[in-house]
Amino acid sequence: MSNSNSELEQGFENPPELENSGMSEDEYEESADYLEEPENLGDFESASTEAEESEYMEFDETLLQIKADVETQLSQAVAQTSDAVQAENVFEGAGNIQGIGLGISEDPSQSLAPGAASLNLYVAEPVSVDEAKAALVDSMGISAASSDDIPVNVIVTGIIDAQPHRFKIRPAPGGVSVGHTRVTAGTLGCLARGRRAPRNGRLLMLSNNHVIANSNNASFRDPIIQPGRLDGGRSPRDQIAILERFVPINFRGGRNYVDAATGWCWPSRVRKELVYVSGGSPRYFRVSSRIVACRRGMIVGKSGRTTQLTRGQVTDCNATIRVNYGGGRVALFADQITIRGTSGNFSAGGDSGSLIWTYDSRRNPVGLLFAGGGGLTFANKITRVVAALDINLYT
């Protein structure tokens, strides 16, 4: 496949270039002035499709109410512990519960019909179903969970962490190491463009806030480098974009839906394709720009910095989880996708920011990878991501 980027170079504006001749890396970063912070990040809380909304229709009202009650408790817990040092007994009782979702019962001992709806309870430390229910009832005060008619899948994730190809490649495709200059490394998901002027004239790259906006601690126009710093990338030598927009992460107990950001790219330094390595050589492929809704049982794929090309299965389309960002910062995320690898782990540290797509010939985007724990991967729904950032995918 040709490396020609004439289509990109002719159709988009270059980001503002800083004069950096003779500057050190620190001087270059400090000299960056600010782009105007967007006033409207989009109505991403209401971003959904009819298919996504119908996810809840098959679940009993009691299950939905228990899930809502647990989400409220998790939100309060995040608000209380975000700035506190974790106690030794943090994983006892309610502290062991890392998230809640809805799925299909996986425990034949619960005497349920095949395919019966169930609560997915994500825990840091292994416990029995009875112990998990006791935590809901005794520690969280959710008495409805004590019923024998309430099925629960106990899923051990450990602490769910926001996760940190490693080579330099030009033009840079999706699936390779990228990052803010003060972040170790994550993954370039794919390209996008703004939905309205002047952003529709900018070629944008999509990744996570914690990858290219340093978990809210970056300034607009900060350098984005490929590869990321952990993989030897340095600014200005390896810069491919500047930070253009990010959705702030709430660390005070409020609900988050996306960990997402965009960088404004130099068109000559990026390409539409995604990449994986086979036989020591890069292999390029395209994904669709047509987004589809998450569906339990869906087989999905991703290409990321660390584990490269992997395949997994969606087990939950509406999980609410606590995510550890380090430094005592914990954030609550709602309406998240849960994925389990079909052969080994679907992701590892450094794969954050990867685009997740249907593992078929259409390769329709489904989610944006941002966290993982206990062999599970968690992703934002891509419908919410594009709404929050006011972008269309450009793949």
pLDDT score of 32: 42
Where the chain has pLDDT below 50, the residues are 1-2, 19-23, 25, 28-53, 82-90, 164
Distance CA 270, CA 242 (A): 13
- Per-residue confidence (pLDDT) for residue 117, from 0 to 100: 83
pLDDT of amino acid 61: 85
Q: What is the pLDDT of residue 104?
A: 82
Q: For residue 51, what pLDDT is reported?
A: 45
pLDDT at 236: 92
Beta bridge partners of 174: 274
Q: Supply the pLDDT for residue 167.
A: 82
Pick the CATH number of 1-395 from 2.40.10.120, 3.30.300.30, 1.10.10.60, 3.40.50.300: 2.40.10.120
Domain boundaries, the chain: 1-395
Residues in the chain: 395
Paired tokens of 244: 């253009």
> 250 Cβ partners below 8 Å, 6+ apart?
256, 331, 332
Residue 198, C-beta contacts closer than 8 angstroms, at least 6 positions apart: none
pLDDT digits (tens, 9 = 90+) for 221-232: 999 999 999 899
Amino acid, res. 172 = A
pLDDT at 220: 92
Entry pTM:
0.77
Q: What is the pLDDT of residues 84-103, one digit of tens each?
A: 434 444 456 777 889 999 88
